[in-house]
Each structure stands twice: as C-alpha cells, then as structure tokens.
Amino acid sequence: MKRLLIILCIAVVFLTGCSTNNEQIEKYRSDMDTILADIATVNSDINSLDPENESSMGMLLADLDRLDDLFKQMAQLEYPEGFDKVAKLASDASSDMSASVSRFHDAYDGEYNEVAQAEAYDLYQDANQKLRVLIQVLRGEYENPDASAPAEDAEEYIEEEVPLDANAYDEGVVEEEPAEEPAEEIPEE
C-alpha cells in the first residue's frame, strides 16, 4: 500500500511539474507573440517614414525609443525552464538595441554626429540579427546559438532571413528588412 501511495505521489508531482512547464511555455509564447507583433508594427512605422518630412527625424527617434522598450520587455520575460539560450539572446539583443538607440540620439539630437550614427546603425543591425537568431531557435531551425558571437559570426548558421512578425516562428512569413541608414541629415529650420 505504501509503495502504491509513493508511486502515486511521484506521478502526481511529475504530472504537475509538466503541466506547470507547459503553462509557462504557453504564457511565454503568448507574451512573445505580442512583443513580436509590436516590433513588426514599429518596424513598419520606421519603414514608412518620409525622409523629406521635417518631423521624420523626431518620429524616427520616438519609434526607436518604442523599439528599445519592446526589446527590454522581451529580455525581461519569464523564460520557461530550458530556454536559457533564448533568454541570453534576448538580453544581448536588448543591450545592443539600448546602446543603438542611445547612439542614434547622440547622432541626431542637436548637431549631426556621423560617427555616432554609424555606431548606432551597427548596433541596431546586431540587435536585429540576434532577434532573428532567437526566432530561429524558437522555430527549431538553429541548433547551437552563441549569443556572445558578433552578428557577422552568427550569420554562417543562418540560412534565410527571419521575419519579425508575431507568428514568425510558426508561419515563416518574411517582413522587409528595416530601412537602410538615412542617406543625409534632415535640415532643421
């Protein structure tokens, strides 16, 4: 009788643990879907900016601030057990995006700073590359991510462009890349 009770207790603990992890995974998935959808919206907003419009630079900086907030939210999610590499990628992507946005502000708040702009753009590309790798990991298409590797080193493991939409790791719908760096400074009047 004691053996049966012990086996029953172990089974209940095991099944409850699995259920809890499944609930964590579903919550994480829902949270990531929301964040990725919001990132896709900001990405679309950035790509639709008119460089001829005098207020575009201010709108770009505001959109970049929103993007930074979303990357921070992604890094602060509660990651399910076994998602350590994904958590590391999200944290590194968030750090890169924060540094990028800071440098974009350095480049465009006040007098134009070409060096800050170039650094910002490189960091922006690194953050988005890490996000692409993260999505590939979630889709099961990336076996051994090394979040500490620079984007150019990680590219050898990536076979295709990965979208930034909410269902990217399920459906494979590809969004356009973010717009290239601005060609020239927008004059202030």
Spans of all domains in the chain: 25-171
Tokens at 162, concatenated: 């990965």
Predicted confidence band of residue 20 (pLDDT cuts 50, 70, 90): low
| pLDDT per residue as tens digits for the range 4-13 | 444 444 444 4
Model pLDDT, residue 172: 35
Model pLDDT, residue 99: 97
Angle at 80 between CA 79 and CA 82, to 5 degrees: 110
| pLDDT per residue as tens digits for the range 152-165 | 444 433 333 333 33
| pLDDT per residue as tens digits for the range 81-107 | 888 888 999 999 999 999 999 999 999
Query: How far apart are the C-alpha atoms of 114 and 23, rounded to whole Å?
Result: 48
> Do the Cβ atoms of 59 and 118 come closer than 8 Å?
no
Q: Which range has the worst mean pLDDT, 18-27, 67-76, 99-108? A: 18-27
Neighbours of 133 (CB within 10 A): 27
